[in-house]
């Protein structure tokens, strides 16, 4: 299949040939009429001009179609990549939530609660690292897996809030109170689910703080394994799927 640039070149060249053919035939028309007659001259002149003209128009049209289609696909790919990159981590999700506040100010309180949950996740990481550093307890560093699972669930649920906001067909500037009430209810469902898993993370940190100074690698493994199981069970219950908790 010809590339869009090749189609455009062929189309432009064919149109140029058609124009040159018309000019040349116009110049030698009298000689051709004398040599082969007026009917044959008309057939040849019209046929050649139409032939190259149609080729030129067709190839130019194909090239332009491919160019427009390619540009649309490129924009779509860039848009998809941009959206994925903007919702991949905590800071990107935070930016998207702030956009919702700016465009849907009536949801400010609920979205601020979502932002506070991101702060809570960050705080858990900070406190965890401080516990390890102050107690020189590198042997419990593997417990960060549990915090990462909490972060993944919280961020996944908040992405659901963002996606629901994007997908909403309502014009938020003129939306009814009923629509906003429904939106608040859906967001509150996410907030409540996230609160449960964040609470488990805080409970884990308190348990770690109570025992870290007396633990060795063996006892740490037992404690961490038991808490990791608790966190994973809560993750399953707190994950929002299709607007409902599993």
Considering the segment(s) 90-245 as one domain, its CATH architecture is: Up-down Bundle (1.20)
Helix axes of 144-167 and 108-135: crossing angle, nearest 10 degrees: 170
Q: Which two tokens stand for residue 37?
A: 């007659």
Q: What pLDDT does residue 78 have?
A: 42
Residue 18 has a CB neighbour count (10 Å cut-off) of: 20
> Residue 235's pLDDT is what?
84
Q: Spell out where the chain has E strands.
A: 240-241, 244-245
Structure tokens at 217: 């690698």
Phi, psi of 244 (to 5 degrees): -130, 150
Helix (H) or strand (E) holding 245: strand 244-245
Angle between helices 38-86 and 4-36 (to 10 degrees): 170
The residues near 104 (Cβ < 8 Å, ≥ 6 apart) are 111, 165, 172, 183
CA-to-CA separations, 28 to 101, 162, 171, in angstroms, rounded: 75, 72, 68
pLDDT of res. 84: 41
The pLDDT value recorded for residue 244 is 43
Residue 172 C-alpha from the chain's centroid: 22
Domain ranges of the chain: 4-82, 90-245
| pLDDT score at 12 | 67
Per-residue model confidence (pLDDT) at position 80:
37
| Residue 103: predicted pLDDT | 83
Question: Any residues with CB less than 8 A from the CB of 162 and at least 6 apart, and which?
Answer: 87, 93, 96, 97, 100
CA dihedral 175, 180, 181, 184 (to 10 degrees): 170
DSSP lists the bridge partners of residue 244 as 241
Mean pLDDT for back-to-back runs of 10 residues, the chain (246 residues)? 57 67 71 75 72 70 65 46 48 90 88 95 92 84 87 92 75 69 89 94 90 79 85 85 46
- Distance between CA 212 and CA 139 in Å, rounded? 10
Q: What pLDDT, on the 0 to 100 scale, is given for residue 59? A: 67
Distance CA 233, CA 41 (A): 88
Query: For residues 106 and 136, is the Cβ–Cβ distance under 8 A?
Result: no
């Amino acid at each position: 299949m010809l590339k869009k640039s090749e189609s455009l070149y062929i189309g432009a060249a064919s149109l140029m040939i058609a124009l040159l053919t018309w000019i040349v035939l116009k110049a030698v028309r009298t000689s051709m009429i004398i040599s082969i007659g007026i009917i044959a001259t008309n057939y040849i002149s019209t046929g050649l001009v139409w032939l190259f003209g149609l080729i030129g128009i067709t190839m130019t049209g194909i090239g332009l179609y491919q160019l427009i289609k390619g540009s649309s696909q490129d924009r779509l790919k860039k848009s998809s990549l941009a959206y994925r990159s903007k919702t991949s981590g905590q800071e990107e999700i935070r930016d998207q939530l702030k956009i919702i506040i700016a465009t849907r100010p009536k949801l400010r309180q609920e979205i601020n609660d979502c932002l506070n949950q991101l702060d809570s996740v960050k705080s858990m990481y900070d406190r965890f690292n401080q516990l390890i550093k102050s107690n020189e307890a590198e042997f419990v560093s593997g417990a960060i897996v549990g915090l990462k699972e909490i972060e993944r669930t919280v961020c996944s649920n908040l992405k659901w809030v963002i996606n629901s906001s994007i997908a909403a067909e309502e014009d938020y500037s003129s939306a009814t109170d009923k629509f906003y009430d429904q939106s608040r209810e859906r967001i509150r469902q996410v907030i409540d689910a996230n609160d449960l898993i964040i609470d488990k993370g805080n409970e884990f940190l308190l348990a770690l703080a109570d025992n870290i100074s007396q633990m060795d690698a063996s006892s740490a493994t037992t404690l961490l394994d038991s808490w990791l199981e608790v966190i994973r069970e809560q993750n399953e219950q707190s994950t929002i799927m299709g607007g409902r908790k599993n």
